[in-house]
C-alpha cells in the first residue's frame, strides 16, 4: 500500500483560497525562440519570486498567539524576502537568518521590508542552526523555507494556476532545491494532469536534493558558489515532507552546468526582455543543452528575478 503524501490536492486548493488576492496570477508566455516551450513568469510576483505563495500560506495558517511571538526562518534570499513581506502585512515580527553566500542585493531587500537580518556562517545549514537557537531561546515560530506542509501547499498553487492556463502540458520543468516548489507543483499537476512529465532541474554544483534522491535518503553536500544561488543549501537530514514527495512525484532530475545556466539567462533576456536569476533559468538551460527534449507544450517555471545587477551584467 502506498504511503499517503503529506500534502494533497485538497491542501493545495485550501491554500489557493487562503492566499487569493495576496499573490499575483503570473503570465504564461510562448517562448518565441523555442518551439513548444512556454515560460511561466513567476518572477513577476511582488517580491520577485514564487516564494511569496508558500510564505503567505504558512503565515496565514498561524494562530494569533503564534503571530504575536514572531516568525523566523533560514533562507538563501527569496523565502526570507517573502516571509518579511507576509509578516509585515500581518504586523508580525520577522527574523531571517542568512549565510554569507547570500548576495547582498537579496540581504538588503529583506531589510527593506522591515525584517531583522542575521548573517551567520558559510552555508544554509549554519543559518538553520541559528534558527533552531532562536526558536529555543527566543520563542519565535519557525516558518521553514521548504520542508513544511503549509509552505509546500502554497507553492502548489502555482501548479493549479499553470494548469488553468495550459490544461495538459506535455512536461513541466521545475527548479529543484529543497523541494518545496517541486513537491507542491508536482502534487497539483500529477493530480489533475497525470500524463504530464514532471522534471526537477538543478545546478550541478552542490545539488542537495538531487544527491539525496540518488542516494535514496537525505544526505549532506558541500554548498558551493553558483549562478543558481537560490537553489543552494541542504534539504535537512531529518526532512519530513519534500524528499518523500519529490521521490514519489518527479519523473526525472536533470543537472545543468554553470555555463548552461548563463546561456539560459541570456536566452530568457532575449525572449522576455527581463533579467532572471540563475535558479529561474535552469529549465531553459536543460532544453538549450539538449538534456531535455521539449514536447508540444513544455512549461519552464521561471521562479525568480532577484539577481544582483552586477552578476547579470557580467553574464550578458
Q: How far apart are CA 267 and CA 31, in angstroms?
A: 10
Chain centroid to CA 4: 23
| Of residues 232, 295, 292, 293, the one with CA closest to residue 258 | 232
Active site (annotated) includes residue 293 = no
| Of residues 134, 150, 106, 180, the one with CA closest to residue 142 | 134
Residue 98 bridge partners (DSSP): 119
| Of residues 120, 245, 115, the one with CA closest to residue 178 | 245
Assigned C-alpha cell, 116 = 531583522
Assigned C-alpha cell, 91 = 504586523
Active site (annotated) includes residue 170 = no
Candidate list 51, 75, 106, 212, residue with the active-site label? 51
Q: Which residue has the cell 520577522?
A: 94
SS3 label, residue 154: helix
3-state secondary structure string across 12-78: HHHHHHHHCCCCCCCCEEECCCCCCEEEEEHHHCCCCECHHHHHHHHHHCCCHHHHHHCEEEECCCH
Q: How far apart are CA 202 and CA 271, in angstroms?
A: 21
Candidate list 75, 177, 193, 303, residue with the active-site label? 303
Residues annotated catalytic, as ranges:
51, 303
Amino acid at each position: 500500500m502506498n504511503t499517503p503524501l503529506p500534502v494533497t490536492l485538497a491542501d493545495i486548493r485550501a491554500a489557493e483560497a487562503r492566499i487569493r488576492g495576496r499573490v499575483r496570477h503570473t503570465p504564461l508566455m510562448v517562448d518565441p525562440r523555442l518551439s513548444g516551450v512556454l515560460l511561466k513568469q513567476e518572477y513577476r510576483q511582488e517580491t520577485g519570486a514564487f516564494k511569496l505563495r508558500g510564505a503567505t500560506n504558512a503565515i496565514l495558517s498561524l494562530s494569533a498567539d503564534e503571530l504575536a511571538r514572531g516568525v523566523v526562518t533560514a533562507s538563501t534570499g527569496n523565502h526570507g524576502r517573502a516571509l518579511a513581506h507576509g509578516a509585515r502585512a500581518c504586523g508580525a515580527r520577522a527574523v531571517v537568518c542568512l549565510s554569507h553566500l547570500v548576495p547582498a542585493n537579496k540581504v538588503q531587500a529583506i531589510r527593506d521590508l522591515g525584517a531583522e537580518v542575521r548573517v551567520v556562517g558559510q552555508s544554509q545549514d549554519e543559518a538553520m542552526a541559528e534558527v533552531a537557537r532562536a526558536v529555543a531561546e527566543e520563542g519565535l515560530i519557525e516558518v521553514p523555507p521548504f520542508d513544511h506542509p503549509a509552505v509546500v501547499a502554497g507553492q502548489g498553487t502555482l501548479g493549479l494556476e499553470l494548469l488553468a492556463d495550459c490544461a495538459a502540458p506535455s512536461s513541466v520543468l521545475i527548479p529543484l532545491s529543497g523541494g518545496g516548489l517541486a513537491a507542491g507543483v508536482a502534487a497539483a499537476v500529477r493530480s489533475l494532469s497525470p500524463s504530464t512529465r514532471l522534471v526537477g532541474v538543478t545546478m550541478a554544483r552542490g545539488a542537495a536534493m538531487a544527491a539525496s534522491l540518488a542516494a535514496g535518503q537525505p544526505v549532506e553536500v558541500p554548498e558551493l558558489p553558483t549562478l543558481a544561488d537560490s537553489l543552494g543549501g541542504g534539504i535537512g537530514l531529518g526532512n519530513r515532507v519534500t524528499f518523500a514527495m519529490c521521490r514519489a512525484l518527479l519523473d526525472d532530475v536533470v543537472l545543468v552546468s554553470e555555463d548552461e545556466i548563463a546561456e539560459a539567462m541570456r536566452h530568457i533576456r532575449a525572449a522576455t526582455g527581463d533579467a532572471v536569476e540563475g535558479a529561474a533559468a535552469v529549465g531553459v538551460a536543460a532544453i538549450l543543452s539538449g538534456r531535455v527534449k521539449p514536447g508540444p507544450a513544455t512549461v519552464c517555471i521561471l521562479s525568480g528575478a532577484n539577481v544582483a545587477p552586477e552578476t547579470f551584467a557580467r553574464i550578458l
